[in-house]
Amino acid sequence: MNLCEHESKSLLASAGVTVPRGKLAATASEASCHAGELGPKVAVKAQIATGGRGRAGGVEVVCGRAAAYAAAQRILGMELKGHRVREVLVEEAVEVQAEFYAAFMLDRSAKAVTAMFSAQGGMAIEDVVRAHPEALARLTVPPLLGWQDFMARRLWASLVLDRSLLGPITDVLARLWQVYDTWDATLVEVNPLVIDGRGELIALDAKVTIDDGAFSARPERYGFVRGHREEDAEELARSKGLTYLRLEGTVGIMGNGAGLVMSTLDAVAAAGGAPANFLDLGGGATAERIGAALEAVTSNQAVGSVLCNVFGGITRCDEVARGLAHAVPALGVRLPVIVRLEGTNASQGRRLLEDAALPNVEVIASMRDAASRAVAICGMGLLETRG
């Protein structure tokens, strides 16, 4: 579950990290009103749960109420990276002296959290690493120790930063760790973390991802993040030409062709489960549409497992398999995904998924067995013991 900026910043602020003063606006007049209060100079920022908004035109730094109105007018309603912008954050502008990057990120392959810091913040960190790998200092947090202040000194020392920065960096990293640890995050990223005109460290942007298992186990803890996440996913699905309808149950369903999807709903019901949705991939489902479908299905927090049932005709099973093999890790889906492939290129598709060896994806030959499995495993978490 990716939080958007203002949600992420509220967690940072409660841990004592300095963030700019800001207010949400759903209309241009509200934004102009906030600008009057926080300005004259403000940043108007699209609130969608993804990064790279600046480059895509979703962030504007403006002066005065009229300019804030115009910026909000332009940004609200925009489609940015597949998400419709429904709210903007209006923030007092900060005088930026230097831009850093700071993050704690779960590294599944290391089975540990990685701490990262760079003096080259403000740009996409992937680009920094590509051009200057040495500009990003990293450190694996020993799981039994957790984050300790001396680790901040190591990051600081490996980047040869100014002496005066050691104290503030140590302080901010301890607070970011507190957010990571308290909220069962898998990512806490601040880019940029800036030094303002008074030499203070401020989180100008923030991105927090909450572990999906933690979220579904105790959704009430995260009441503040219940936003437009589902509506966004449904809209994304429709914009890709998928038919999506939310139902009341817990087994997420995707299939191709209305008839097959209907019988999949019946198979789930016959196995004692309740379908969470109707999703028709349509004919010729591409890898991209599979991703949008999976995003829509898993955006429903009630979903405890996903059943993908495809009878290949025009739709090729290998294409579906390729889409799943990409989308499951790319979207960070950790729910069990049960796949049944039959028809055109089914054996290639099955082999592809078996080769991808994703711990939470299981291929089952018959539709009835697949439905039973999806119902049985629903809500039981990862299929980590497989293989």
Strands 112-118 and 136-141: antiparallel
C-beta closer to ligand GDP: residue 89 or 306: 89
Choose among ligand GDP, Mn ion, none what residue 59 binds, the Cβ cut-off being 5 to 8 Å by kind: ligand GDP
24 binds ligand GDP (CB under 6 A): no
Bond prior to 40 in cis (omega within 30° of 0): yes
C-beta closer to ligand GDP: residue 191 or 264: 191
Residues 31-60 that bind ligand GDP (CB under 6 A): 43, 45, 51-55, 59
The verdict on whether 222 is a catalytic residue reads: no
Which spans of this chain sit near Mn ion (rule: CB under 5 A)?
Answer: 191, 205
* Smallest gap from residue 89 Cβ to Mn ion (A): 12
Choose among ligand GDP, Mn ion, none what residue 295 binds, the Cβ cut-off being 5 to 8 Å by kind: none
CB 234 within 8 A of CB 282: no
List 5, 87, 99, 101, catalytic entry: 101
List 189, 234, 295, 362, catalytic entry: 189
Residue 101, judged by CB atoms within 10 A of its CB (0-12, 13-18, 19+), counts as buried
Residue nearest to ligand GDP (CB): 54
User: How far does CA 131 lie from the centroid of its chain?
Assistant: 25
Q: How many CB atoms lie within 10 A of CB 105?
A: 16
CB 12 within 8 A of CB 176: yes
Choose among Mn ion, ligand GDP, none what residue 30 binds, the Cβ cut-off being 5 to 8 Å by kind: none
* Smallest gap from residue 292 Cβ to Mn ion (A): 24
CB 227 within 8 A of CB 83: no
Angle between helices 287-299 and 229-239 (to 10 degrees): 150
Choose among Mn ion, ligand GDP, none what residue 52 binds, the Cβ cut-off being 5 to 8 Å by kind: ligand GDP
* Smallest gap from residue 181 Cβ to Mn ion (A): 22
Cβ neighbors of 219 (< 8 A, separation 6 or more) are 301
C-beta closer to ligand GDP: residue 81 or 154: 81
Q: Which of 213, 210, 204 is nearest to 227 (CA)?
A: 210
* Smallest gap from residue 42 Cβ to ligand GDP (A): 8
Cβ neighbors of 272 (< 8 A, separation 6 or more) are 375
Q: What is the four-CA torsion angle of 312, 317, 319, 323, rounded to 10 degrees? A: 110
d(CA 349, CA 344): 9
* Smallest gap from residue 79 Cβ to ligand GDP (A): 15
The verdict on whether 99 is a catalytic residue reads: no
Binding mask 67-106 for ligand GDP (x = CB under 6 A): ------------------------x-xx-x----------
SS3 of 186, please?
strand
61 binds ligand GDP (CB under 6 A): yes
CB 43 within 8 A of CB 203: no
* Smallest gap from residue 190 Cβ to ligand GDP (A): 9
Residues at the interface with ligand GDP (CB under 6 A) = 43, 45, 51-55, 59, 61, 91, 93-94, 96, 122, 191-192, 204-205
What is the set of active-site residues? 101, 189
